[in-house]
Structure 1
Amino acid sequence: MNPLLLLFMFLLTANCEAAWRSTHVQITNNLDPNTTDLTIHCKSADDDLGVHVLHHQEFYRWDFKINLFGGTQFWCSFQWLNQFHWLDVFIEETFNCRDCKWIISNDGPSLYNKITKVYDHKKWNDEKKRT
């Protein structure tokens, strides 16, 4: 059998398997209890998930399937008091999670690491240097 055809079939099978499994993103308001609510607005290139207001320790969660052809990405804006930030919460090529759990604290976002069992602090997208 043609090696290129075998490679194509392998890649198609791997992408189909990924597309069948659901991926989950969960965002929890871990701001100081005396802080006002956290307002989030999440989107992808294809979906606008709308605006959600989270009280202290409440979370918003959604499930989705990976795009068969790749490139699945979700980002959110976060607003409270005089703060406004945005963050990529899922990028298929970058994030190695099928159950991505974020907490949003006064000092920034953190993503749960299933290997170390702790939340790793991340930078807001608006804090990252552009190259």
Structure 2
Amino acid sequence: MNTSKFFLVLACTLVLSKPYFVQGRGYTVYVINDLGPNEKLNVHCKSKDDDLGPHTLGFGEEFYWVFDLNVFGTTLFRCNMDWGNKQGSFEIFNARKEQYKCGNTFDGHCYRKVRKDGVYYNKHRDGDYWKKYSW
């Protein structure tokens, strides 16, 4: 096999098998209703490849999903949310911006608390959340 064919086969193999830095990089994203007692949160999250369906969360309840980054490391999830008379569409996970902000190298956890004034982020369940979006 000549050199150019070898490199073509090698390149195709790497792309189809996912590179090491992408494969096995699992994430779990949690969306938590922190609106207050008796407040229901409607959440519908999607990526280019996955529609996670609609979910209604009571106060303190969470919706979560587990996924690996796509081959290109560009995984993006958006969630449409509403409660009361508020509604919004929020970028809940963007691999290009957040893949190293959600825990350690091999099992990232991303926490999103939805509050009356916006959506808050943290990489730990407990602790100080910071506001990412306003309604």
Which TM-score bucket, shorter chain as reference?
0.7 to 0.9
CA RMSD of aligned residues (A): 2.3
* Secondary structure in structure 1 of the residue aligned to 2:56: strand
Q: What's the CA shift string for 1:92-112, capped at 9, x where partnerless?
A: 110122211000000111001
In the alignment, which of 15, 24, 30 is matched to residue 26 of structure 1? Answer: 30
In structure 2, list runs of 5 or more residues that go unmatched: 1-6, 103-107
| Higher radius of gyration, 1 or 2 | 2
Q: Does 2:75 align with 1:72?
A: yes
Q: Residue 19 of structure 1 aligns to which amino acid in structure 2? A: Q
Q: What's the CA shift string for 1:28-75, capped at 9, x where partnerless?
A: 00002143x100000000000000000000000100011122210001
Q: Cα offset for 1:113?
A: 4.4
Q: Does 2:59 align with 1:56?
A: yes
Contact 1:113 1:120 in 2 (8 A): no
How many percent identity over aligned positions?
Answer: 32
In the alignment, which of 116, 119, 122 is matched to residue 109 of structure 1? Answer: 119
Task: Detail structure 1 runs of 4+ shifted over 6 Å in the superposition.
Answer: 11-14
In the alignment, which of 17, 21, 44 is matched to residue 41 of structure 1? Answer: 44
Contact 1:24 1:99 in 2 (8 A): yes
Q: Cα offset for 1:15?
A: 3.8
Contact 2:47 2:77 in 1 (8 A): yes
**TM-score, normalization: structure 2?**
0.75
Q: Residue 27 of structure 2 aligns to which amino acid in structure 1? A: T
* Secondary structure in structure 1 of the residue aligned to 2:55: strand
Q: How many residues align?
A: 114
**TM-score, normalization: structure 1?**
0.77
Q: Which residue of 2 aligns with 1:16?
A: 20
Q: Which residue of 1 aligns with 2:105?
A: none
User: Distance in 1 between the 2:73 and 2:35 partners?
Assistant: 33
